[in-house]
A and B are shown apart, each in its own frame.
Chain A
Amino acid sequence: MTTAIQNVELYLESFTEFQKRAPGRNLPWLRKLREDAFARFCDVGFPTPHDEDWRFTNVSAIARTPFQLAQTIAVSSQDLETYRNQTATCQLVFVNGRLVPELSSVGKLSAGLQMYGLANEINDNPRAIEAHLGRYLDIQRDAFCALNTAFAEDGAYVHICKDTIVEDPIYLLFISTASEVPLITHPRNLIVAEKESQATIIEDYVSVGESIAFCNTITELVVGDNAVISHYMIEREHQQASNVSTLRIQQERSANVASHSVLLGGGLVRNNVHPVLAGEGGECLINGLFIGNDHQHLDNYMLVEHASPHCGSRQFYNGILDDHAHGVFHGRIIVHKDAQKTDAKQTNRNLLLSDDAQIDTKPQLEIHADDVKCTHGATIGQIEETALFYLRSRGIDELSARKFLLFAFASECLDRMKPGPAREHVEGLIQRHLQRVANSAKSPAPGTMAKRSEGIGRRLDEDRGQTTAE
Chain B
Amino acid sequence: MSLLEIKNLNVSVNQHEILKGINLTLNPGEVHSIMGPNGSGKSTLAQVLSRRETYQVTSGGVLFQGKDLLAMKPEEAACEGIFMAFQYPVEIPGIGNAYFLRSALNAIRRYRGGDEMDAMDFLPLFREKLKLLEMDENLLNRSVNEGFSGGEKKRNEILQMAVLEPKLAILDETDSGLDIDALRIVARGVNAMRSPDRAMLIVTHYQRLLNHIVPDFVHVLVDGRIARSGGPQLAVELEEKGYGWAEAERQTAPASV
Contact = CB atoms under 8 A, between A and B. Distances in A.
A411 B164 CA distance: 26
25 contacts: A387-B92, A389-B52, A391-B92, A393-B51, A393-B74, A393-B78, A394-B83, A394-B100, A395-B78, A395-B104, A395-B107, A396-B103, A397-B107, A400-B107, A405-B92, A407-B94, A407-B95, A408-B94, A409-B94, A410-B94, A411-B94, A412-B93, A415-B94, A449-B53, A453-B53
A394 B93 contact: no
A395 B94 contact: no
Interface in A412-428: 412, 415
Contacts of A467: none
B217 interface: no
A131 to B, nearest CB: 44
A386 interface: yes
Nearest to B47: A389
Given A407-B94, A453-B54, A390 B104 contact: no
B53 A390 contact: no
Contacts of A389: 52-53, 74, 90
B73 A450 contact: no
Contacts of A412: 93-94
Given A395-B108, A397-B75, A390 B92 contact: yes
Size bin of chain A's contact surface: 20 to 34
Contacts of A410: 94
Nearest to B103: A396
B101 to A, nearest CB: 8
Interface in B77-114: 77-79, 83-84, 86, 89-90, 92-95, 100-101, 103-105, 107-108, 111
Contacts, number: 82
A386 B94 contact: no
Contacts of B51: 393
A396 B103 CA distance: 7
A15 interface: no
CB-CB nearest 5 A-B residue pairs: A408-B94, A394-B104, A395-B78, A392-B74, A390-B90
Nearest to B104: A394
Contact of B84 (A393, A408, A409): A393
Given A393-B78, A398-B75, A401-B75, 16 more contacts: A384-B90, A385-B54, A387-B92, A389-B52, A389-B74, A392-B73, A392-B74, A393-B50, A393-B77, A395-B78, A395-B111, A400-B103, A400-B107, A409-B94, A415-B94, A450-B54
A54 interface: no
B33 interface: no
A26 to B, nearest CB: 55
Interface string B176-211: 000000000000000000000000000000000000
A396 B89 CA distance: 16
Contacts of A453: 53-54
Contact of B93 (A386, A390, A395, A408): A408
B90 A386 contact: yes
B143 to A, nearest CB: 8
A401 B103 CA distance: 10
B92 A396 contact: no
Contacts of A46: none
B160 interface: yes
B91 to A, nearest CB: 8
Nearest to B79: A395
A391 B143 CA distance: 13
Interface of B: 50-54, 73-75, 77-79, 83-84, 86, 89-90, 92-95, 100-101, 103-105, 107-108, 111, 143, 160, 164
A404 interface: yes
Nearest to A392: B74
A409 B75 CA distance: 22
A286 B103 CA distance: 33
A412 to B, nearest CB: 6
Contacts of A409: 94
Contacts of B89: 390
A316 to B, nearest CB: 13
A385 B54 CA distance: 10
A410 B95 CA distance: 11
Nearest to B54: A453
Contact of A390 (B77, B86, B103): B86
Contacts of A387: 90, 92
Nearest to A414: B94
A394 B78 contact: yes
A408 B78 contact: no
B93 A396 contact: no
Given A387-B92, A450-B54, A394 B73 contact: no
A393 B100 CA distance: 12
B95 A395 contact: no
A396 B104 contact: yes
Contact of A395 (B86, B92, B164): B164
A395 B51 CA distance: 12
B90 A392 contact: no
A403 to B, nearest CB: 10
B144 to A, nearest CB: 8
A191 B111 CA distance: 54
A396 B75 contact: yes
A450 B53 CA distance: 8
B164 A394 contact: yes
A404 B97 CA distance: 12
A360 to B, nearest CB: 25
Contacts of A408: 92-95, 143
B75 A395 contact: yes
A448 B43 CA distance: 25
Nearest to B14: A450
B73 to A, nearest CB: 7
Contacts of B164: 394-395
A385 to B, nearest CB: 8
Contacts of A397: 75, 107
B165 to A, nearest CB: 12
A390 B146 CA distance: 14
Nearest to A410: B94
Nearest to B101: A394
A385 B90 CA distance: 10
A320 to B, nearest CB: 13
A453 B52 CA distance: 12
B155 to A, nearest CB: 16
Contacts of B90: 384, 386-387, 389-390
